[in-house]
Amino acid sequence: MKKYLLAPGPTPVPPEVLLSMAMPILHHRAPDFIPILDSAKKGLQWVCQTKNDVLILCSTGTGGMVASVNNFFNPGDKVITVNGGKFGERWTKICQAYGLTVEEIKVEWGYSIKPAAIEEALKKDPAIKGVMVQATETSTGVAHDIEGLGKVIKNFKDTIFIVDAISALVAHDIRTDEWGIDVLIGGSQKGLMLPPGLAFVGVSDKAWKMNETSKMPRFYFNLKKERENLAKNQTNFTSAVSLIVGLNEALKMLQAEGLENVFARHAKLAHATREAVKAIGCGIYSKDFPSNSVTAIEAPAGIDGQVIYKNLRVKYGITGAGGQDQAKGKIFRLAHLGYADTFDVITGIAAIEMVLKELGHPIKLGTGVGVAQELLMK
């Protein structure tokens, strides 16, 4: 059976990128590799809309999150984490693992954080040194209001704004500098159309200032040393050379498309997905700002979301994602992230219709597909 990867990471890697990574291995300190890293470094700044250094780590995205906790604070420092899903919860766990005093602001799953809530919390306790949030919460398909949060947080001169944009980057317009994001985290296996293995961390001057007084034990994720190395187009330890070659290739593809067009494509695919599944009787789990990276789809009443997810894979070769924790059984998820276009959405919607029909859901085949087609033709 032909396979389709429509999961919110890892996402499909374009053949051009796969082949670039199959080229002979370069040595990470040899001159051939330097211009590649230089170009990738500049491309990352372009995609992150920042003049800040965007450091390249050899790890999954979670490594970037850990680096963001580990390089700017001291044990006992107070931080706010926004927990509106599995990845928000991960912020809390990481901060606790490193001995920070965490004020966790819980957000009901399916909703985004109100910037006013963060403003209130920061006014109440000016000792808070950082606010950590997801740009998009992959487990719920919700986008948080990063622009609005940035406006609030930038008024607090001793507080840095840390954004996990791992699943948002490329799919969402994230204006790092304009919106006052101090630490921006990305990962390779999402919008950047690469295999897993790289994390990206963009750091503002305000955050570098805090790095100077941060005394936590660290060695592998030492952002200051990464910065010194990046200035020489190197990484602190052995570079993940093949992934960085692929990164450069993926960035070239995105640059050829243009950043505005990339965002518009993701917005269109996400919108078409939402309208199509609504037309066949499914709800959207995100109740305010749905993500452009992944759509969390509510299973119709009486049907288990996990069964839909499994049948998509087993019967039709489509790997999406199920629900996690409290959303397990209630939802299934379909991504439109990175190397995704019109017929990925059509494929996903058509398969959902077929699975739902087989499960006894009363629909006319082609209904959702028709809605998607209409919107995707615009």
Residues in contact with a second copy by CB under 8 A are 3, 5, 7, 9-13, 18-19, 21-28, 30-32, 58-63, 66, 93-94, 97-99, 187, 189, 195-197, 216-221, 237-243, 313, 319
d(CA 4, CA 345): 11
Q: Which of 175, 224 has the CB closer to a second copy? A: 224
- In the complex, the smallest distance separating the C-beta of residue 125 from a second copy, rounded to whole angstroms, is 23
- In the complex, the smallest distance separating the C-beta of residue 45 from a second copy, rounded to whole angstroms, is 23
Q: How many Cβ atoms are within 10 Å of 121's Cβ, its own excluded?
A: 15
Q: Which of 94, 105 has the CB closer to a second copy? A: 94
- In the complex, the smallest distance separating the C-beta of residue 180 from a second copy, rounded to whole angstroms, is 26
Q: Which of 202, 322 has the CB closer to a second copy? A: 322
- In the complex, the smallest distance separating the C-beta of residue 57 from a second copy, rounded to whole angstroms, is 9
- In the complex, the smallest distance separating the C-beta of residue 28 from a second copy, rounded to whole angstroms, is 7
Q: Which of 205, 213 has the CB closer to a second copy? A: 213
- In the complex, the smallest distance separating the C-beta of residue 289 from a second copy, rounded to whole angstroms, is 25
Q: Which of 37, 241 has the CB closer to a second copy? A: 241
Q: Which of 230, 375 has the CB closer to a second copy? A: 230
